[in-house]
Chains A and B, each alone.
Chain A
């Protein structure tokens, strides 16, 4: 059973539109993270959360919001999608030191 799942797995969005990426974990972990992966940049941290109803900014938060309505769910929101946000997005949860990643969402903004 996959412990971190993401939806959708792939999405095409229009510039200026709103996009919501969802993440669900069954690990019972407090910490959850959103990263983006771009060719030439590896993975970079966007937002993270260590408790429901609270989120923190990561290294590249501009243009993104996050929401953590429960321990299991963590969403990434692009209010006004832009071409530069085309990337693969990964969600992760963490135990004492290991992070467990979901399969990723490929977002294309046209």
Chain B
């Protein structure tokens, strides 16, 4: 079946350090890839869509690049801030109609 595997949290960081959240997936379909972020007390919201063809997706200082060979797309940020504390989900859209397939989420806590 279809599956998404991401870095198991929690991840605790100091402000100004770098963040990497790893994500890989298995499916026989051709998914569209996303990173979503969820802040406390809110629903998930789109961080950005990950391009497939050797391009880097980015938003708010976060970046992700798709690796076709390993079907993985890792989230990175060079210098995190306290406001980046949230749960990050790698997400697949397997077809146009159906809903999203979420990873388990990685809780990231950034301390000043």
Contacts and interface: CB of A to CB of B under 8 A. Distances in A.
Whether chain B is bound by chain A comes out as yes
B43 A90 contact: yes
Interface stretch (A14-22, A76-84, A98-106): A98-106
The interface residues of chain A, by DSSP majority, are classed as strand
Given A42-B89, A42-B105, A99 B100 contact: yes
Interface in B25-49: 32, 41-46, 49
Residue with the greatest number of chain A CB neighbours at <10 A, chosen from B42, B46, B99: B99
Contact of B104 (A31, A33, A41, A56): A41
Nearest to B41: A103
Interface in A74-98: 90, 92, 97-98
B46 to A, nearest CB: 5
Given A42-B89, A90-B44, A102-B43, A48 B99 contact: yes
A42 B103 contact: yes
A51 B104 CA distance: 29
Interface residues of B, number: 19
A106 to B, nearest CB: 10
Interface residues of A, number: 25
A102 B103 CA distance: 19
Contact of B99 (A35, A100, A104): A35
B89 A103 contact: no
Nearest to B4: A42
Nearest to A46: B99
Given A35-B99, A42-B105, A99-B46, 9 more contacts: A42-B102, A45-B99, A92-B99, A97-B49, A98-B46, A101-B44, A103-B41, A103-B43, A104-B42
